[in-house]
A and B are shown apart, each in its own frame.
Chain A
Amino acid sequence: MNSGLYQATLGAAVASQAGRLVLLAGVPLLWLVFMHIGPIYQMAKISFLVQYPLQAGQEASYTLANYAIFFSESIYFLPLIRSFIFSFAATAVTLIVVFPVAYYVAKVVRPDRRSKALLLLLVPFWAGELIRTFSVIMLLANRGALNVLLRELGFIDRPIPMLYTSFSLGFGLVYLICLYMLLPLYSSIEKIPKHLLDAAADLGAGPVTRFRRIVLPLSRDGIVSGCSLVFLTCIGVFATPMLLGGPTTVMFPETISGFFHGASDKWPVGASFALIMLVSALTTAGIFMRLVGGKATKLM
């Protein structure tokens, strides 16, 4: 690194205060501004355009009409409401299902076995979004494992239609996202000092009281970040509703994507829809964090 070339180029830059600043901050700041803010900014800008793409030399004119379209037809705003309902339900179910599991791994399992117990839960996580969604079809299809099992046991004569319904979609969403809940919950429960629980038990607090007075308040950070993460992931899932849902369970991402197929003249409407979803989802997550989490909560 001591070659003349280095001295003449990078070495010289490092020698001056301004050079050091550019080397340290240049690329990161450009990236953050252009790639983290840029796309959202462009999407917001297009959502107000009267016409897109602009003809050569045409002045851009702005309007709110694209947003009005959203409120005008129920085929537009119902999917968003449906997306919210499904995401809320999936978040609540995931929290209830995963909490005991996270508590078990963090507090009941012996410390030396803890990482193995956690690893067993992480394996399906590596399968990826589409493969996990696909595997749910194997379980719930008309000739899937569950229906065949029920028929063999004599409970049903003909298969219960489970696939392409709200049930299969909810099942699939929970299956897809439950591990986003597990990790934040696990890390916050693990930090609860064991002697607090022991002391409470010595003073006569039963399992329910200990859970309500110690475990629940002290794992609040994990609950808040887990729920926000799951909710925001869930609402943005695109492939799973298309594969597991039916005609009555069209979600908002599918509605938005309709505007981005084919020619780009419908983009402003699609962009305004996307922005409506982004703002409403982030606001919901923000309100939830403020209500439940207090000030010091961070998402990551």
Chain B
Amino acid sequence: MRAYFNDIPRTLLTMAYWAFVLYLLVPLTLMMAMSFKDANFVAFPIGDWTLRWYAQVMQDRQFLEACLYSIVIAAAATFSATVIGVWIAMLITKASSRWSGVLFALACLPAVVPGMISAISLRVFISTIDLPTGTAAIVLGHTVHAVPFVVVMALTRLRSMPPNLVDAARDLGADSIIAFFRVTLPYLGPAIVGGMIFCVLLSVDDFVRTFFLGGYRPTLPMLIFAKVQGGMSPEINAMATLVLIVTAAVGLYAEYMTRRSRSR
């Protein structure tokens, strides 16, 4: 009898978990299902199914250009955020304990500033340095947003690194730069790859910074936002479904990479 009562919390927790999974997946599933609706408006029930929205999206120049633009921005922002983030992480590990705390807090600052404020402050900032809104400004904004995550990921990995690896390299005659590129950087490899994929997802997903820093060329989220405000059509669902599938695949791969790096 007692064992039976002890199982009640367990059952309730299991139910809570599956209810939550349902809550997370149902809206996205509905969104994907609607992309197959054979009508010009968005409404349930779906009725006839079609693939024509996908055919239309694949030929939509605006969509393809927005994809390309998002990818270019993500690549540039990821590259710069990775270089700067790893550099900051190296400085934090080498700094004395008093300074490393200050530097770490400073490095994490963009992650705790609410997105809207971050976007506004960057908009003001680029105008004070006479940088016009557009691609360069977006890349800068996305880089600022991504750096804290790279720093945290690189620091986590650096903490597990045996210090004698670098000492051995130094004993064998490598100066600190060569030791960094030949020993520390390869050791950081998996964390860096995981961090880079995370940066790409952050950048491709970002709306508010792009909205305030961008010019007239839309990135993917801006295009979807404009279309949703302009009126519902299953075409948007098809676009969103394609983006979702690609980003989820990239995310799964990143998860796999970081898991492998942790187990090694």
A interface list, Cβ under 8 A from B: 1, 10-11, 14-15, 20, 23-25, 27-29, 31-32, 35-40, 42-43, 46, 53, 97-98, 100-101, 103-105, 108, 115, 117, 119-132, 134-139, 141, 143-145, 148-149, 175, 178, 207, 228, 232-233, 235-239, 242-243, 253, 256-257, 260, 264, 267, 270-271, 274, 277-278, 281-282, 285, 299-300
- The tally of residues in B whose CB lies under 8 Å from a CB in A reads 89
CB distance from B252 to the nearest CB of A (A): 8
Are A14 and B175 in contact, CB atoms less than 8 angstroms apart? yes
Given A23-B177, A101-B17, A135-B27, do A237 and B116 touch, yes or no (CB 8 Å)? yes
Q: Which of B50-58, B161-169, B224-232 is found at the contact surface with chain A? A: B224-232
Given A123-B25, A236-B116, A238-B208, output 11 extra A-B contacts at Cβ < 8 Å: A11-B177, A14-B175, A31-B84, A128-B204, A128-B244, A131-B224, A132-B28, A138-B42, A232-B113, A237-B208, A239-B225
Q: Which of B59-67, B71-79, B88-96, B187-195 is found at the contact surface with chain A? A: B88-96
Residue in contact with A43 in the complex, picked from B27, B87, B124, CB distance below 8 Å: B124
Are B13 and A100 in contact, CB atoms less than 8 angstroms apart? yes
Residue in contact with B31 in the complex, picked from A119, A131, A235, CB distance below 8 Å: A131
Are B247 and A127 in contact, CB atoms less than 8 angstroms apart? yes
SS class, residues of chain B in contact with chain A: helix
Residue in contact with B117 in the complex, picked from A104, A128, A274, CB distance below 8 Å: A274
Residue in contact with A131 in the complex, picked from B107, B118, B243, CB distance below 8 Å: B243
Scoring B9, B24, B91, B120 by chain A CB atoms within 10 A of each residue's CB, the highest score goes to B120
The number of residue pairs between A and B whose CB atoms lie closer than 8 Å in the complex comes to 251
Chain A, Cβ-Cβ closest to B174: A1
Q: How far is the CA of A299 from the CA of B110 in the complex (A)?
A: 12
What chain A residues lie within 8 Å of B140 (beta carbons)? 35
Are A236 and B13 in contact, CB atoms less than 8 angstroms apart? no
Are A236 and B117 in contact, CB atoms less than 8 angstroms apart? yes
Q: How far is the CA of A35 from the CA of B122 in the complex (A)?
A: 9
